[in-house]
Amino acid sequence: MPHSPADSPAGEPRPRGPQRRTVMRAGLGGAALAAAGLTFGSAGTAAADPARTGTQGPAAPQSPEADWHRYLQGPTDRTVRPVGILRSSGAVTDPDALLAPGGGSTTLSRPQPPQPPSWPDGTTATASSAHAPNNGDDGQPRTYDAANAIDGDPGTFWNDDTLAAYPDTLTVTTTAPLSLPGITLLSNADGVPSDFTVETWDGAAWQPAATVSGNTQVQRAVPFAATVSTTQVRISVTADQSTPQGEFTRINEVYPGLLPDNDVPRVVVDFGKVVVGYPHIRFSSASDNSPGVRLAFSETVEYLTERSDFTRADQSGVASQGTDQVAVPAGGADWKDTKGYQSGDQVYADGLHGFRYLQISLDALASDAPAAQPWGEVSIDEVWLEFTAYLGTPESYSGWFLSSDDDLNRYWYGAAYTNELVTDTFRSDDIDPRGADSPSLDGKSVLQDGAKRDRDPYVGDLAVSARTLYLTHDDAAEAARNVLADLADHQRSDGWIPPASINGYTLPLFDYPLWWVTCSWDYVLHTGDRGYATGYYPQLTKVLDSWYPSVTDGDGLLSKGLNGTSGYGDYAFLGRSGQITYYNANYVQALNDAASLAGWLGNSADAARWTARAATVANAVNAHLWDAAAGAYLDSATGPARHAQDGNAIAITAGVADASRAASALAHLDATTVLPYGNAFMDNDTIFDGASQRVYAFTSYPELVARFRTGRADSALDQIRRTYGWMDRHDPGITNWEGIGPDGSLYEGAYTSMAHGWSTGVVPALTNELLGARPTAPGFTTWSVRPRPGSVAWARGQLPTPHGPLGVDWRHPGQGAFALTLRVPGGTRGSVAVPTDGKAVSVRVDGKLAWNGKKAKAYDAAAEEGYVVLDGLTAGTRTVSVRPAD
């Protein structure tokens, strides 16, 4: 779930026993990266070895289970250790010892820094602007005046008052001339000046003394070309590092002189891929001055800096400055990173993290003295992670997939691992702190949206991630049910269902109640949970018959803005209103899903009413939102013309578009949205700058389904290879990103979640569409298998059902030849559609002729749009063979 700009972290000033080793499977870390043909550039992205990008995969294995096991990505148990050392700097001895528990210690050392010089009495400071006083993030009154930058207290700071507007200037004035060889700037981790100039006053004019660009150091010595005698120093900042707190200039101290380099000892360990849980460090010893250790976490090398790429403390009012702290006692400690303060209100750690890279530094916040000191010595025996998410092992996979295309196999299991990372227990300390905690969810297994953030269950995300869960680990289906039931239990009196627990179940989204309906039907289809269906049927009725009719206009279309909904958002918090194709196509899907559920429960009147309404809305979409000139559905009936991936794709999958419109809409997307890293979710930038360069795997999933189901399997496979191939090849590798921005970047910088459940649609796309198997009645009592092979030579897999696994294994030599083997669980029956490649074919089931090329001989066989469809296949092993009729 992308964050809302309105929900962004505020730009306010910041206050001050032995474990068994686990090897992560198929990780891309350290030497493994080189072996895999990947190298990191300066931006932390990985380039692919061309040999890895082809589509030729392995021959059909004789032992499929053993073969798919090698693609698994999760740990074998909950103790996870790093696989490589990315780098070290400063006084660090034997960093590789962190990779071999029991093989020695890694030591970080740093001498006590000298007492910094102070300004003469009477020195003053002025600034171009200063943030107004407030209570900071700790509830204590604070000021941010320029005088804080020369008061000798590194716990206070000057904070300008012009967010991302430059220059910001700070001028220091002494009462008498002072000889300066340079200055030392101590800034704040939430506002490091990256580009600035220093000038001195010669009595008549300002003279340049030094220029700094690209600075990333919190403490930066700035030497002058020659010693200068002056009464004034002016610092002009023209750029700051971007942080979740915004782009403010924050300077804690300006010292009159040059302090020794702030040579902080650091070592960066690499876990090989994104992991999630509680970091542990075993300190074997430390000096007796309470040396501080700071931890910074990142999913990517690009955003691995002195502050973590994300920390919940940024959103909760805790002065963490982007790292987790620990003060190490002289006797050492087995330290587990859990949320809270180590000493009163000092030395704070954030607890659980989702990350690939961990930077360990011998350093401490000035505000943490004397509880923690930025010098001394610490020795570390071990670093590991207590993995908290779902543990995906060969034994836990009740569903699996394998094909002749090695890339597709890798993407399927990378997505499955991504989804495992977000299947976790709901814990108040580890979730989004913006009002997301809920007694009704605490302690329950849930599907969250991201591993590092927001760690809150959003029902829209379940539209993809729950399907992935059902197809991989059916024993975890409770995680989806818990979310769906909890949101329904918090239904508003007017029928609206909240999207998540965030903001106390009040975040106003327009589309997510529709996803709740569709996700409820998905859950029932895969599990056959009649108790859920009957128990929450009243909520389903109320949202469809009360709330959505209240936002329906005279054309019969949902219209955002009616009934006080102008401020409502959607999955991407897009500024669109009125008649929107995406909302209305989703409405058609939800109505038809609700009708199916109602029919299963015997509520035929409701089923008929919702089916009729779905047809009415579909007709209205075609009448009012189809753009004949572009040959695609408009995103919005008003405003600049644009055509969105979400509305056009779901119009096809929901049956709003007929075959002609579907073909035209997909052709339009082909012509306007194709990028090296996927298909953009808008065809132009009229909704916001860069929209036509943004890719969401979330909205790409229904487009993949649309392509498969309209006979465009190879275009679907091409889109998969571009979207998931890009994520697979680039740092952090393997896991699926929340969103991709221009040129394949992280679309929201460091804030972007690099392991996001809503991006795992490649799993249901390959299992349900390429392999071709899916349920057609609750609990898989009936199912269908319709392979859509495209250029893939063979595929096999297994789908979990309440009756036992449904196995599918097919080979497609082409030219009218096709072989399919099914393993059908008892108590189920289904239909099979086998491709004909446009040729006259004969079809046999278990050796018995079922279709002779012209008419049925068994199983009610019938020809249908390039397939022969067979009905009534029952339990047991069934073989279906297709060959040219002659």
- Which pLDDT belongs to residue 135? 81
Are 274 and 299 a contacting pair, CB within 8 Å?
Answer: yes
C-alpha count within 13 angstroms, C-beta hemisphere, residue 697: 37
Tokens of 616: 């009415």
Q: What residue spans of 602-748 are helical by DSSP H?
A: 604-624, 645-653, 659-672, 697-709, 713-729
**Residue reference for tokens 């009415």:** 616
Are 456 and 436 a contacting pair, CB within 8 Å?
Answer: yes
- Which pLDDT belongs to residue 139? 63
Q: Which of 100-109, 239-248, 400-409, 875-884 has the lowest mean pLDDT?
A: 239-248
Q: What are phi and psi of 435, to 5 degrees?
A: 75, 25
| pLDDT bracket for residue 178 (50, 70, 90) | very high
Which residues, 6+ apart, have CB-to-CB distance to 377 below 8 Å? 107, 108, 109, 110, 286, 287, 291, 362
Cα–Cα dist 785/772, whole Å: 5
- Which pLDDT belongs to residue 734? 98
**Residue reference for tokens 């043909």:** 37
| Angle of CA points 520, 523, 525, to nearest 5° | 110
Give the DSSP letter of residue 546: I
Could you tell me which of 201, 203, 221 has the C-alpha nearest to residue 212?
221
Residue 58 confidence (pLDDT) above 90: no
Which residues, 6+ apart, have CB-to-CB distance to 480 below 8 Å? 447, 462, 466, 469, 470, 519, 523
Higher-confidence residue: 687 or 134? 687
Buried b (16+ CB within 10 A) or exposed e, 555-586: bbbbbbeebebeebbbbbbbebbbbbbbbbbb
- Which pLDDT belongs to residue 5? 35
Residue 10 confidence (pLDDT) above 90: no
Which residues, 6+ apart, have CB-to-CB distance to 309 below 8 Å? 297, 298, 299, 300, 303, 355, 452, 750, 751
| pLDDT bracket for residue 28 (50, 70, 90) | very low
| pLDDT bracket for residue 38 (50, 70, 90) | very low
Strand order in the sheet with 400-403: 400-403, 794-799, 806-814, 817-824, 876-884, 841-845, 848-851
- Average pLDDT of the segment spanning 305-331: 88
Residue 180 confidence (pLDDT) above 80: yes
Give one DSSP letter per residue of 700-741, joined into a string: HHHHHHHHHHTT-HHHHHHHHHHHHHHHHHSTT-SSPPS-B-
| pLDDT bracket for residue 62 (50, 70, 90) | low
- Which pLDDT belongs to residue 6? 35
Q: 630: alpha, beta or left, given left = phi > 0 and alpha = psi -120 to 50?
A: alpha
- Which pLDDT belongs to residue 314? 81
Average pLDDT value over all residues in the chain: 91
Residue 561 confidence (pLDDT) above 50: yes
- Average pLDDT of the segment spanning 115-132: 95
Higher-confidence residue: 390 or 28? 390
Are 774 and 828 a contacting pair, CB within 8 Å?
Answer: no
| pLDDT bracket for residue 883 (50, 70, 90) | very high
Residue 204 confidence (pLDDT) above 90: yes
- The letter for the amino acid at 274 is V
Residue 8 confidence (pLDDT) above 50: no
Q: Counting beta carbons within 10 angstroms of the beta carbon of residue 539, is it exposed (0 to 12), middle (13 to 18) or buried (19 or more)?
A: buried
- Average pLDDT of the segment spanning 682-704: 98
Say whether 174 sits in a helix, a strand or coil. strand
Task: Give the H/E segment covering residue 384.
Answer: strand 376-387
Angle between helices 459-472 and 406-421 (to 10 degrees): 120
Residue 47 confidence (pLDDT) above 80: no
Cα–Cα dist 380/104, whole Å: 9
Say whether 477 sits in a helix, a strand or coil. coil
- Average pLDDT of the segment spanning 727-752: 97
pLDDT digits (tens, 9 = 90+) for 233-277: 999 999 998 776 678 899 999 999 999 877 899 999 999 999 999
Residue 40 confidence (pLDDT) above 50: no
pLDDT digits (tens, 9 = 90+) for 842-870: 999 999 999 999 999 999 999 999 999 99
Which residues, 6+ apart, have CB-to-CB distance to 390 below 8 Å? 74, 396, 419, 420, 421, 423, 424, 473, 476, 479
- Which pLDDT belongs to residue 742? 97
Pairing of strands 806-814, 848-851: unpaired
| pLDDT bracket for residue 39 (50, 70, 90) | very low
- Which pLDDT belongs to residue 315? 83
Q: Which of 123-137, 578-592, 807-821 has the lowest mean pLDDT?
A: 123-137
Cα–Cα dist 114/133, whole Å: 32
- Which pLDDT belongs to residue 188? 81
Residue 30 confidence (pLDDT) above 70: no
- Average pLDDT of the segment spanning 193-218: 95
